A and B are shown apart, each in its own frame.
Chain A
């Protein structure tokens, strides 16, 4: 069975500091990995995804994630966060049944 574990439920960080949100997955099939972001009072939206090829994927707003097959991880990083990055972040893996298996989410709180 496929599963996703997000190790931190909440991550507080100061503005302009680096951040890493951790995600580990379990899958016995081809792995497609996703990070979604949910800003307050909004729906989830795709931040970035890994399908194949380069193990490092980037988003347009400075986030990046690295697929590590040996460690079954897909951690999300940003070298310098902004107040506007405050949101909840969900890691997910594509299942063979056609849906996504989501982690429980990590709430990133960026403080001035």
Chain B
């Protein structure tokens, strides 16, 4: 299996621009997670989906952030408008239910810099 695939790997954008991060989960997994990692705040769960339905978006920082999962093989995380404080590494991950002890598999991350 190719693993969780994220794109772009690196993006530099100007403040105010829209940013779209993409994720293809591992085939067959029914959970998809978006995390953000920064030096200051560490690893934060932003939102996660089960069977394409958002389950918990309480970690989404504000209305500028939105996430969608139109089908089982694709998800996006959008920031509009972007701000310098959004600079971080954004990870997508997928799994079968971790409540049963299943492993969550992470992508390589999307490194976002907002200038």
Contacts and interface: CB of A to CB of B under 8 A. Distances in A.
B106 A44 contact: yes
Interface residues of B, number: 24
Contact of A98 (B4, B50, B91): B50
B102 to A, nearest CB: 8
> Which residue of B99, B106, B107, B109 has the most chain A CB atoms within 10 A of its CB atom?
B99
B55 A97 contact: yes
A32 B106 contact: no
Interface stretch (A13-21, A64-72, A78-86, A99-107): A99-107
Contacts of A100: 98, 104
B30 to A, nearest CB: 9
A102 B43 contact: yes
Contacts of A7: none
A74 to B, nearest CB: 13
A49 B95 CA distance: 15
Contacts of A32: 98-101
Contacts of A43: 4, 91, 106-109
